[in-house]
Structure 1
Amino acid sequence: MEDYILQIAREGLLLILVASAPPVLASLVTGLLISIFQATTQIQEQTLTFVPKLIAVFASLVIAGPWIGAQLLRFTRMLFEGFPGLF
């Protein structure tokens, strides 16, 4: 039983990392590109990065959304199928 709980915790933490990776990476790359653009043009407007990052995060969620949903569904099924074996 303890091994099952540790496996669930391990897989849950890994799922959090995997599911959050696409929007975080999209925001990171967009922020880097805009920072390089700001450094080369010497435009120091802080609000310039917000809208492109927001668009990049939404686009990454639209593209990776079905895959993220499938991963969450797989984890949930594994969780519910393992419950009867605990008792």
Structure 2
Amino acid sequence: MESDAIALAGQQALWTCLLIGGPLLGILLVVGLSVAILQALTQVQEAALAFVPKMLALGLALLFGSSAAIAVMRGFTEGLFDQIVALGGVR
């Protein structure tokens, strides 16, 4: 019974990580691919040109998506605390 709850909590933790990190990684993938295509077309191989747009995109994504990420983390935490109470963690 307790091992099932622990496995479920681990599964929910991995799902939460995917929900928070997945969109950020997707945005960085698209920006990195577009910069790489631009560098290949223009034959400009500058390291800062590959790094700066990704950091700007990540900053904007964190700025506009932080409230959604916090809501996902809060829901996970509340669910985890509810599971702990259901198992008899508080008397």
> Taking structure 2 as the reference length, what is the TM-score of the superposition?
0.89
How many corresponding residue pairs? 87
Name the aligned partner's letter for residue 70 of structure 1. A
Name the aligned partner's letter for residue 7 of structure 2. L
User: Could you say what secondary structure the match of 1:43 adopts?
Assistant: coil
In angstroms, what is the RMSD of aligned CA positions? Answer: 1.0
Distance 1:84 1:71 in 2: 20
What's the % identity of the aligned pairs? 33
- Which structure dedicates a bigger proportion of its chain to helix? 1
Name the aligned partner's letter for residue 72 of structure 1. M
Residues 64-83 of structure 1: matches in 2 within 5 Å? Answer: 64-83=65-84
8 Å Cα contact 1:27-1:56 kept in structure 2:
yes
> Taking structure 1 as the reference length, what is the TM-score of the superposition?
0.92
| Structure 2 runs not aligned, ≥5 long | none
Distance 1:42 1:2 in 2: 56
Give how far 1:83 is off.
1.1
Q: Which residue is equivalent to 1:60?
A: 61
